[in-house]
Amino acid sequence: MSDDYSDNGTGRSWLERVGQFFSSTPGDREELLDLMRSMRDAHVVDGDTLGIIEGAICVADMQVREIMIPRSQMVSIRASGDPRDFLPTIIDCAHSRFPVLGEDPDEVIGILLAKDLLPLILEPARMERFAIKDHIRSAMVVPESKRLDSLLREFRISRNHMAIVVNEYGGVAGLVTIEDVLEQIVGEIEDEHDVEDDDYLIKDLDNAEYTVKALTPIDDFNEHFHCQFSDEEFDTIGGLVMQKFGRLPGRDESVVLDGYRFTVLSADGRTIRLLRVTPPGEHSDDDNPEEAER
């Protein structure tokens, strides 16, 4: 066997080391993750690889409602709208896909691709005969409770990149994109159009709860929620929550800070990614006294 597969002259091959790790079959996901962390510690896999594996396992337990863009923050187009009215919005926000709604905001007509509007910019005379119904694509509709692994599979099969999320009453609750799902696995996918502002970092779920990215600066969090968390030791809200736990928490673990309940929605082997925040007065500490005492 070549030197590339030996372990610094000890006679143990890389394959033998991997075999030792898998000598006992993991009984559940947590055991599997512990095994993968051991492999990282032994330099069989690196931290980035471990983070992707952990993210892929976590999406199997996450639901669309946890990552969707809520209805209040959707950029949509009215089917009856004039291109002269909605083109500036499309150009300004720089998204590639837009939900098209009827007169009733819960009536989803379809999805409009920004690229299909390029001829209107190049040939303004086309606006006079533009009919949005000739350009919209069918919309993929999913419930809030749909699991992310199932959604990702549907995205792949149908070749859709966006889905409209509906609540139990059939009303529009928000939207979700394939990028939103992939970010739960590989981390943030930033492009030239991403901006780091309150609307991007903090999302209102319309039910007295919020999703907050862990990298949100404490100053921005304080300004949004009108609170006074200290930023002397940490710059981000994720760092503050991590300090309270005293360790890297797992998904669905919660902690209460100054009346705010922080629940971990996503974390990898290195850091917290996404939090659900419930402000004071919107939860009961009696539900789980141990969490409130942390």
Q: pLDDT per residue over 47-86, tens digit each?
A: 777 777 777 777 777 889 888 888 877 888 888 888 778 8
In this predicted structure, the answer to whether residue 6 has a pLDDT above a threshold of 50 is no
CATH 3.10.580.10 segments of the chain: 66-178
pLDDT band at 277 (very low <50, low <70, confident <90, very high): very high
In the chain, what percentage of residues exceed pLDDT 70?
78
Closest CA to 28 of 285, 250, 276: 250
Q: What is the CATH number of domain 66-178?
A: 3.10.580.10
The values of phi and psi at residue 276, to 5°, are -105, 130
Tell me the three state secondary structure of residue 254: strand
> What per-residue confidence (pLDDT) applies to 41?
78
Residue 36 near residue 45 (C-beta atoms within 8 A): yes
Element containing residue 237 per DSSP (H, E) = helix 237-245
Radius of gyration for the alpha carbons in the chain, expressed in angstroms and rounded: 23
Would you state the structure tokens that stand for residue 238, as one six-digit string? 């994720």
E strand map for 167-253: 172-177, 202-204, 210-213
E strand map for the chain: 69-70, 77-78, 97-101, 108-113, 140-143, 162-166, 172-177, 202-204, 210-213, 254-257, 260-267, 272-278
Cα→Cα distances 42→35, 37, 165, 209, 243, Å: 11, 9, 42, 40, 26
pTM: 0.54
> What per-residue confidence (pLDDT) applies to 201?
83
To 10 degrees, the CA torsion angle through 282, 285, 287, 289? 160
pLDDT band at 287 (very low <50, low <70, confident <90, very high): very low
Would you state the structure tokens that stand for residue 191, as one six-digit string? 């492009």
Residue 66 near residue 192 (C-beta atoms within 8 A): no
| The amino acid at 199 | D
Beta bridge partners of 174: 70, 165
Q: pLDDT per residue over 10-20, tens digit each?
A: 444 545 555 55
Does 208 or 121 have the greater pLDDT score? 208
In this predicted structure, the answer to whether residue 99 has a pLDDT above a threshold of 60 is yes
Q: Give the least confident one: 20-24, 33-37, 211-215.
A: 20-24
Greatest mean pLDDT among 128-132, 241-245, 267-271 lies in 241-245
CATH 3.30.465.10 segments of the chain: 195-293
Which one of 3.30.465.10, 1.10.357.10, 3.30.70.20, 3.30.43.10 gives the CATH number of domain 195-293?
3.30.465.10
The span from the CA of 217 to the CA of 235, in Å, is 6
Beta bridge partners of 280: none
In this predicted structure, the answer to whether residue 288 has a pLDDT above a threshold of 70 is no
In this predicted structure, the answer to whether residue 27 has a pLDDT above a threshold of 70 is no
Backbone region of residue 116 per phi and psi (left: phi > 0; alpha: psi in -120 to 50; beta: other values): alpha
> What per-residue confidence (pLDDT) applies to 134?
82
User: Across the chain, what does the average pLDDT equal?
Assistant: 77
pLDDT band at 222 (very low <50, low <70, confident <90, very high): very high
Q: pLDDT per residue over 144-183, tens digit each?
A: 999 998 998 999 999 888 999 998 888 898 899 988 888 8
